[in-house]
Amino acid sequence: MRFARQVSFLFFLALTPLLLPSEAPASCGAVSCFVVIGAQQRIPQQGLLTVSGVYNYTPMRLLSGATGIIPAADQARQRLILDHHQEVRTITQSYTLDLNYGVMDRFALQLTVPYLKRKHLHIDGLGESATEAGEPVNFSDNGFGDVRLTAKYNVLPTLRHNIVLGFGLELPTGDTQARDSSGQVLESPGQLGRGQIGLIGSIYQTYELIPHRLSQFAFASYRHTFRNRDGYQFGDEYQFNAGVNLVTTPWLVLINQFNFRYLTQDNVTANLEQSAAPFSGEEPTVIDPRILDRRVPNTGSTYFAYTPGFQLDVGRLFTSQYTEGTSMYVMAQIPVARDANNNLAQGTSFIFGITRSLQLLKPRS
């Protein structure tokens, strides 16, 4: 137990400096809220299926003092146009079905299927009209996002301490060709899917500081997505999360966690152009006609948030065959520090979920 306690403490210390906000440009388009939900990170016992349904509301708006003037990464026509349009807002709602099945007591397979509803507004073509500072362009779409399949293994299964390693594949099942109100294919960051396979590695650690009363947890993950057929490659994603769960009564758990996400810059295969000044009535000027792999300015982001919430064990509060193994949770992700780099920034997000455990097979004795 002393060894488990030392590993838990060292792992938490290793994450601490990474949770501090750092400077980086912010992403245009859309992001989703991210939190640690124990039912999704843990490994169920053999034959147990944990089914989770999660609703997530994530708004993005300009911070005070930001103009929101950013480049256009037109992957459909291989054009990267500097200072082309002005971001206004993005709202993403996601409905996620998560299936977490214990193949063995230390090994599990997890399937995550997101359904997304997204609304976006920006002012397009700032320099292309002599009478108006651009044209309002709306985008609205809903459908399935990229499905994720994850294999997980518990390398330290003890009564009070667990360390779970995960490796996942993100499959390109989400739409990448949706069009905005002007009839043009929307930029890749606003689409429901990334259009290419992603690789995800993760580690989840938890330790009961006070048995059955107070537990500490930490979660870190890394995602790399390859370049899609449109010549667009999303930046790598790093997530670091840590928090505690406090059992106040057998049916009520208070959740407190800190969440940090760092996204590197995206890349697009395109030429390079410069948009004309607002009200000039001129088309963008070509700076470099060569079709090259170029970093997309104003992509990448740094986001640090505090997330309080609670989990209600419905099965213990209302004892019946219909509520057995069922719990509900509510969380609010509140931004503490964000670097939006003159772009849209993620605001306070909300998470609602319900989890039900079903014993499909009897575990081996």
What tens digit of pLDDT does each residue of 62-71 get? 998 889 999 9
Residue 163 and residue 205 in contact, taking contact as beta carbons nearer than 8 Å: yes
Which helix (H) or strand (E) segment is 316 a member of? helix 314-317
Supply the pLDDT for residue 300: 87
Q: What is the pTM of this model?
A: 0.88
Question: Is the pLDDT reported for residue 23 higher than 80?
Answer: no
- Adjacent-strand bridge partners of 303: 261, 338
User: What was the pLDDT predicted at 20?
Assistant: 35
Strands (E), 125-213: 135-144, 148-154, 161-170, 198-210
Query: For 333-357, what is each residue's pLDDT tens digit?
Result: 999 999 978 889 999 999 999 999 9
Residues 253-278 pLDDT 10s: 999 999 999 999 999 999 999 999 88
CA atoms within a 13 Å half-sphere pointing along the CA-CB vector of 163? 12
Residues in the chain: 365
Amino acid (1-letter code) at residue 230: D
Within 10 A of 1 (CB to CB), how many other CB atoms are there? 9
Report the distance separating Cα 168 and Cα 152, nearest Å.
9
DSSP labels for 28-51?
Answer: SS--------HHHHS-PPTTEEEE
Q: How confident is the model at residue 133 (pLDDT cuts 50, 70, 90)?
A: confident
Output the DSSP codes for 255-297: EEEEEEEEEPPPEEEEEEEEPPPTT---PPEEEEEEEEEEE-T
The DSSP output letter for 102 is: E
Q: What's the rounded Cα separation, in Å, for the pair 58 and 249?
A: 31
For residue 114, give the amino acid letter.
Answer: P
**Interatomic CA distance for residues 318 and 181, integer angstroms:** 49
**43 pLDDT exceeds 70?**
yes
One-letter amino acid at 355 equals T
Distance CA 54, CA 98 (A): 8
Q: What is the pLDDT of residues 164-213, one digit of tens each?
A: 999 999 999 999 999 998 888 999 999 999 999 999 999 999 999 999 99
Across 98-115, average pLDDT: 96
Rounded to 5 degrees, φ, ψ at 314 are -65, -35
Contacts of 183 (CB under 8 A, 6+ apart): none
- Can you read off the two tokens belonging to residue 307? 């997330």
Average pLDDT taken over every residue of the chain: 89
What integer pLDDT is reported at residue 364 of this predicted model? 65
Q: Quote the pLDDT of residue 34.
A: 83
Q: What angle do CA 133, 137, 141 make, to 5 degrees?
A: 165
- Higher-confidence position of 129 and 311: 311
Four-CA torsion 267, 271, 274, 278, nearest 10 degrees: -80
